[in-house]
Amino acid sequence: MSSEPQSSSIPVGVSRVEELFVNVDDNLNEEDECNVEASEPLLDTTTKEAEVENPFQVFKKPRRSKVWDDFLEPELINKQWKVRCKYCNQPLSVLKSKSTSHLKRHIDGCIKKLRFLKQQQALNFLPSESSTGTDQSGFVSALHVGKVDMLKMREAMAYWITMHEHPFSIVEEEGFNLMMKRGMPQWTSVSRVTIRSDSFKVYEFEKLKLKALLKKVDRIILTTDLWKSKPQKIEYMVLTAHFLDLDWKFQKRVLNFVHLPPPRKGANIADCILKCLKEWEIED
């Protein structure tokens, strides 16, 4: 049996999800909201079919008050429009006057929200161990007291694109931005030019970290691999370092991926390897 409230009439072609939406104008600022009493009559539930233009749009105009971030979308309960607190699930009335002062009073005194914020501040978002054998990986959560830090999200996307070799244009795809907006309403789109710049910053940052780590290592084993790309007809060489970190954990890092033109004799390979080692400051 469905737990949704029953409605007296459902327009043809309109989904039942439209019953959960109410058109409320929320243009009042915080000072006006405090001057309005919370005991005003409830919204008129006789919404005409013509007023419902988009079933996914709860309010015709954007809600400017931040208090709405702590409540779920309006729903029809006993023929009255109400919103539920995200923390304690208590239903509160949506006033016809568009006032949110009673909602703000509830959030300020909601014990479960205070517990939630305290728990979030106590969580440790850093991984217990990183690839370098230390507990300082540099990753910080992009979620701060319910708000999204877009700079941290851009950094995470740059790592994601670099690690999995995604094209920079993936951040401009409509489906990607739709997914991120659903999960984080405060999400703002990022262009491929911006994420390309961020990816190079991530590369330089990780390179500096690896340089600092290699300086603390006593011995490094180097391996090389050479091949020729048939479609492009270009010769490549990859230089890989193998070593033990400070915690005696075996590490493997690709230092360079370079073009080595013919003839690829021993002297040419040695000169290329020495050039790569000088770049990493480990030639000694």
Residue with tokens 């006032």, as numbered in its chain: 99
Exposure string for 123-154, b = 16+ CB within 10 A, e = fewer = eeeeeeeebbeeeeeeeeebeeeeebeeeebb
Half-sphere exposure of 184 (CA within 13 A, CB side): 16
pLDDT digits (tens, 9 = 90+) for 156-183: 999 999 889 899 999 999 999 999 988 8
Average pLDDT of span 63-73: 79
**Which H or E run includes 192?**
helix 192-215
Give pLDDT tens digits for 24-37.
444 444 444 444 44
* Phi, psi values for residue 207, rounded to 5°: -65, -40
Please tell me the pTM assigned to this model. Answer: 0.46
- Token pair 């590490």 is at which residue? 251
**What six digits make up the tokens of 13?**
């072609």
Rounded CA separation 37/102 (Å): 8
pLDDT at residue 168 in the model: 94
